[in-house]
Structure 1
């Protein structure tokens, strides 16, 4: 730690008193602030600026004596970190690298040391001892490459004569008893309270076997009356066992100048206040007994040293390359991550952010729901977002769909999927966004038998299958009920997490689909031994505007595991059909209260994140409204199957329903036909009436049995 700039030599002895020099420690936030001030405030101004650093005396053994500058260094009046001493410095920020290299560094050092010397002689250093720890920082920033050149100077006045050590340094526990050490700690704490700080850089001290008293430097004349023994303390950031830190140098010059003629010897306590394994320890503090030469104020300013050596040990500047962390795109990524890390550090320590950030999300629909879901995903730090939509942006869209602007509507309108990708990238360049302008084939919307049309439909199916395979979570955010059928089938087959959101006028439903077990051979109806194929009525689901509303309800149970939960179509006893035919103007758009999509979109993302935090993921047991007072299963709370919201009364309920063994989308018979026959099966669904799926799943037979039972009940009534 010692260098040729930190020795005071006594010519008549072989002893060299060495001081551990400061090592500069500049955080990335300091360079970011310097960049902003250079661009917005300093511009071409090279005049000196006041900045503030701090040093700490509680570091473990072996760490360098650091002077730290943070992002707050430019706010000289800002609070100093707890248990740190402030150090005020002067910043010289040059406009060119040549100016940085050629500036007269000797003159800068002499100017600063002259001010320190004058403060010592005038008594200002007694009132404000932080003057003794002043520093210089010379900088140049290449803001195109984010290369920063800098050179620190910690001015220290030198003795023309040597410093004589009367006896070798001792650790505090070799001189003080445990009672005295405890009294010393208490006296220092009291002095800090009196000075309204948590660290006092220099202080006076006197002690007996039972007591320790402390006072600031300016109280010398009244504090040391009637005693020949003088003890001075310095808040010492050095961690070496035999050497003091740099702040002691100018203190000794102050003592020699002000009281050198009156002092025979002086005892100096290098106060080091560490916390080891939760216990406070000052026993390793050092005590020196010194004989100082007299330095009259009438003499010339002493010589000085202080320019920091570079990492190679030579006199020269340092350079730091912050191109990666200072690049605005990388800064944006760091800031997004920081928001989430702050949430974890204090509020949710068990939050697994990596699971969330690394989740690849496929958004089917880039309208009102899709835009709001995308923004909330970005808020959670999700980096991979893919849009699928075949619509163009119309003039009514931007006010409700926050990824679009008026200009996007001009010239017939941009593709929603592509415009959404562009806007996400502008909002946060760190996002990996993709868009696909494509249609999703639907039941009840026949595909032409021409080869070209069939080929396009097949390509769309293959593309959708590929996208679902490549993503971890699929959000169904489309305008129609039937457009959700194909992705529901594909995702169920591929065991992908599906989150579905649908809007009514002032109601919404957000739900996760049951995640099928890996084995397809096991029948859902066999697993659900406590369910019935028919269902008693429940509150109807809100459905997208213009879609058919045929909701039979579902049996509601508690503690349903994830693989037994129903999908969006499990509550229906009719197959999806063409809900877009003969729609009136109000049915052609999703007419809902303006805040509804934002609420539903946010809840859809929050549901996904809660699922990811559960140890069983999509197989987690569904939370219900009855669980709201119980211990939540994840650090973020419940993991419901459905959230049904009613904006008119500002209320949400959390029903859970079983998978329906005759479901037209996720039942074993549908998945089996899809997995065996692929597009041939799908084309039959697209080109047939809804009765095809109803016949296949057994819904037709169920309708007939139900109708027969009703007739039988009526005949029984008539006979009574």
Structure 2
């Protein structure tokens, strides 16, 4: 540039939106100009944009008159500036991270538990949200019930879920099983456990979900010698999964598929929730603690008389109270193959569509009630009545043992069932034998249908009951209708 410069205009990008005031960056800019060139009058342009385009109507032009201190001209003093902070003795610019306000995943995480926080703030100040966020849940079965339970767990803030299933998504599944779509059915169908985890992560990217493709070994379903190694591997893998998790949901289709998980949970004293469906009825229950969760063991000795055999079905006691039963405690026979020689409609779980969402939600609410109860898994069973919810000191109300409902009657009731000393899954005899023999015991229970009945004394009980021959045919009624012997 040649010739005399009449005016010098200093420009800078101004982020300020005020119509008549320059932004704070002008202070630092003037300090630099005065310190570097010792100017006393500085004409400046505050360049501004609107939506990324130059807006000269909003931009400002002005002049600043400055008295420069002597220390500035001698460079013995550094003029103060805004927007800089000391970091390890050096002045660096102030940085603000906008990641949380711009990243969709971070936004989802911060908003996910808003409903739970509002619940605690407005109605349940004692609600423990940390235990819900940290608990690890194992869902055995990723069908209609498994999908409903997983979705409801997410709503309660549970972030660690493992789903176990060996099946694939069929064309009939997506309409009732909420984690699957039509695309999951194509090309033979994706494995349910894998497809469910994929959908959970799509719903909420911060989920720590895992899918395990495996079948659950079952009593009454004998295996050949060639299959024994694979079946035992599945048993050990299931045992490891139960050990790793804090709560286990039994959501499978058959009765016998619940036996091994029930035994493993009783052995390790894990929180166990069962949900089972009929056509228009359902059962949701929590299993009691294991038989060795207390030093008190009420095992009854084996005897031959009917009175002694019946005492095997007496209620177990733990710490002065009765130990709650498991899914198998009311049975007098061992679990066997429930699918053999049955038609398709008898093998499939044919239920009214509304049944699974109702029972799945109740199963999760039961788990949350256990976690919020001061006694946890050792809490006694409560029965609902007109005053129970009002008088309960617990934040979520009563904590039942069993919930049975019927859609045909639109009814629901709570029951309490205590443990049996002849239970084929959770009694001290069975758990002790499992601890002593390990997977050898499990394999024998799988291959020999009557083994569990013999072990627990149910065989002797049935023999004793059948030994009573009442000889009804040797009796006649008299004229008054009284029964007399002839």
Q: TM-score range by the shorter chain?
A: 0.7 to 0.9
1:344 counterpart SS class: helix
CA radius of gyration, larger in: 1
Cα deviation, residue 326, structure 1: 4.0
Q: Which residue of 2 aligns with 1:719?
A: 485
Could you tell me which of 391, 394, 399 is aligned with 1:631?
A: 391
Higher relative contact order (CA 8 A, sep 6+): 2
Is 2:168 the partner of 1:392?
yes
Is 2:345 the partner of 1:586?
yes
8 Å contact 1:469–1:494 — kept in the other structure? yes
C-alpha distance in 2 between matches for 1:655 and 1:520: 24
C-alpha distance in 2 between matches for 1:608 and 1:526: 31
Q: Which residue of 2 aligns with 1:460?
A: 234
Summarize the Cα distance change of 1:555–1:358 in structure 2 as closer, same or farther, 3 Å threshold.
same
8 Å contact 1:372–1:402 — kept in the other structure? yes
8 Å contact 1:511–1:604 — kept in the other structure? yes
C-alpha distance in 1 between matches for 2:376 and 2:408: 32
Cα deviation, residue 555, structure 1: 8.8
8 Å contact 1:365–1:388 — kept in the other structure? yes
Cα deviation, residue 344, structure 1: 0.3
8 Å contact 2:148–2:360 — kept in the other structure? yes
Q: Which residue of 2 aligns with 1:411?
A: 187
Q: Which residue of 2 aligns with 1:322?
A: 98
Q: Which residue of 2 aligns with 1:512?
A: 286
Could you tell me which of 111, 122, 127 is aligned with 2:20?
A: 111
8 Å contact 2:292–2:428 — kept in the other structure? no
Cα deviation, residue 439, structure 1: 0.8
C-alpha distance in 2 between matches for 1:348 and 1:673: 44
Deviation digits for residues 360-386 of structure 1 (CA, Å, limit 9, x no counterpart): 000000000000000000000101000
1:426 counterpart SS class: helix
Summarize the Cα distance change of 1:317–1:677 in structure 2 as closer, same or farther, 3 Å threshold.
closer
8 Å contact 1:520–1:668 — kept in the other structure? no
8 Å contact 1:476–1:501 — kept in the other structure? yes
Deviation digits for residues 2-33 of structure 1 (CA, Å, limit 9, x no counterpart): xxxxxxxxxxxxxxxxxxxxxxxxxxxxxxxx
8 Å contact 2:273–2:363 — kept in the other structure? yes
Summarize the Cα distance change of 1:105–1:578 in structure 2 as closer, same or farther, 3 Å threshold.
closer
Deviation digits for residues 393-414 of structure 1 (CA, Å, limit 9, x no counterpart): 1011000000000111111111
Q: Which residue of 1 aligns with 2:108?
A: 332
1:332-351 residue pairs with structure 2 within 5 A? 332-351=108-127
C-alpha distance in 1 between matches for 2:95 and 2:159: 33
Is 2:274 the partner of 1:500?
yes
1:583 counterpart SS class: coil
8 Å contact 2:369–2:396 — kept in the other structure? yes
C-alpha distance in 2 between matches for 1:320 and 1:568: 56
1:189-204 residue pairs with structure 2 within 5 A? none
1:412 counterpart SS class: coil
8 Å contact 1:499–1:511 — kept in the other structure? yes
Q: Which residue of 1 aligns with 2:217?
A: 441
Cα deviation, residue 347, structure 1: 1.0
Q: Which residue of 2 aligns with 1:608?
A: 367
Deviation digits for residues 393-441 of structure 1 (CA, Å, limit 9, x no counterpart): 1011000000000111111111000100100000001110001100111
Summarize the Cα distance change of 1:561–1:390 in structure 2 as closer, same or farther, 3 Å threshold.
farther
C-alpha distance in 1 between matches for 2:399 and 2:21: 64
Could you tell me which of 391, 406, 409 is aligned with 1:649?
A: 409
Could you tell me which of 135, 153, 170 is aligned with 1:377?
A: 153
C-alpha distance in 2 between matches for 1:660 and 1:322: 60
Q: Which residue of 1 aligns with 2:133?
A: 357
8 Å contact 2:269–2:293 — kept in the other structure? no
Q: Which residue of 2 aligns with 1:11?
A: none
1:474 counterpart SS class: strand
Summarize the Cα distance change of 1:488–1:643 in structure 2 as closer, same or farther, 3 Å threshold.
same
Cα deviation, residue 318, structure 1: 5.4
Q: Which residue of 2 aligns with 1:16?
A: none
C-alpha distance in 2 between matches for 1:462 and 1:647: 39
Could you tell me which of 646, 665, 683 is aligned with 2:443?
A: 683
Deviation digits for residues 221-278 of structure 1 (CA, Å, limit 9, x no counterpart): xxxxxxxxxxxxxxxxxxxxxxxxxxxxxxxxxxxxxxxxxxxxxxxxxxxxxxxxxx
C-alpha distance in 1 between matches for 2:50 and 2:321: 59
Is 2:395 the partner of 1:621?
no
C-alpha distance in 2 between matches for 1:471 and 1:709: 48
Consecutive unaligned residues of structure 1, counting only runs of 5 or more, are 1-100, 114-135, 142-307, 536-553
Q: Which residue of 2 aligns with 1:470?
A: 244
C-alpha distance in 1 between matches for 2:49 and 2:378: 57
Cα deviation, residue 711, structure 1: 3.1
Give the number of aligned pairs.
Answer: 406
